[in-house]
Structure 1
Amino acid sequence: MNFMRPLFTLRQVLLVPLALAALASTPVFAQPPMYIQQAPPPMRAEMMPAPRPGYAWDNGHWRWDGRGYVWAPGHWQPMRHGHRWMPGHWQARGPNWYWIEGHWVR
C-alpha cells in the first residue's frame, strides 16, 4: 500500500468548486414589461463608430433603473446571418411608457 498517495487529485479538487457553482447558478427569465408614468428624456446625440464587420451597432438609449432614467451607451451586437437588428425603443401606451427590447428580425 502506498500511504504517500494523495487522497484527491488536482483535477478532482478543481472540479468541486465548478460543480457547486453550476448548481448554485439561477436561470435568467424574461421580465414582464415595466410601465413607467414618466416619459423618457430626449435622445442623446451619440457618435456611431465606423462599421465593424460581423456586428450591428445598437444605439444608446435611456433605461429605467427603478428611480429614474439613466443613459445606457450604444454597443455592438454580433450579427445573425439573414437577420437585421431592430433597436429597442420606448413606446407610449396611454399615459404610460414601456420599453420594447431590441431584437433580431428576419
Structure 2
Amino acid sequence: MVGRRRFAAGLLAGLLARPASAQPAYGRPPPPPPLRLEPPPGRPPGPRLVWQPGHWVRARRDYVWVPGQWVRIRRGGWVHGHWEERRRGPVWIPGGWR
C-alpha cells in the first residue's frame, strides 16, 4: 500500500515539475533523465531491510521519478533496475532479487 502511495506521489510530482514543452511531439521518446542521487533516509526501519534507490519510469511520452524505498532482503543478490535500449526506445528493466 505504501509503495502505491509513493508511486502516485512521484507520478504527480514528476508531471507537475516538467514543462509540457519538454515532451516530444512525435517519434521515439527521449532517453531517461540522469538518475538522482537519493541516499537512504537514515538507518533501516527494521531488520533485514535494504535501501532500493529511486528510478525513472515512463508515463506516456514523459518520465516520472519514483522515490526509493526500503525492501526486505531475500535470497540471491540484488540487481539494480536499469534502462535498456530497444528498437522502439528505452525500456525500464526493474531491479530485484535474482
Contact 2:85 2:91 in 1 (8 A): yes
Query: Which ranges of structure 2 fall in alignment gaps of 5 or more residues?
Result: 1-27
**Shift of residue 100 of structure 1?**
0.3
Over alpha carbons, which structure has the higher Rg? 1
Runs of 4+ in 1 over 4 A off after TM superposition: none
Residue 84 of structure 2 is matched in structure 1 by 91
Residue 17 of structure 2 is matched in structure 1 by none
What is the number of equivalent residue pairs in this alignment?
69
**In structure 1, distance between residues paired with 2:52 and 2:68:** 5
Amino acid at match of 1:48: P
Contact 1:56 1:85 in 2 (8 A): no
1:49-89: CA deviations, max 9, x gaps?
A: 34523112111011111141011000011111x32221211
**In structure 2, distance between residues paired with 1:100 and 1:70:** 15
TM-score with structure 1 setting the length: 0.55
1:20-43: CA deviations, max 9, x gaps?
A: xxxxxxxxxxxxxxxx63200011
Larger RCO of the pair (alpha carbons < 8 Å, separation 6+): 2
| Richer in helix (by share) | 2
* TM alignment of 1:38-57, pairs within 5 A: 38-52=30-44, 53-57=47-51
**Shift of residue 45 of structure 1?**
1.5
TM-score with structure 2 setting the length: 0.59
Moved more, 89-98 or 39-48: 89-98
Contact 2:32 2:56 in 1 (8 A): yes
Residue 101 of structure 1 is matched in structure 2 by 94
Identity %: 41
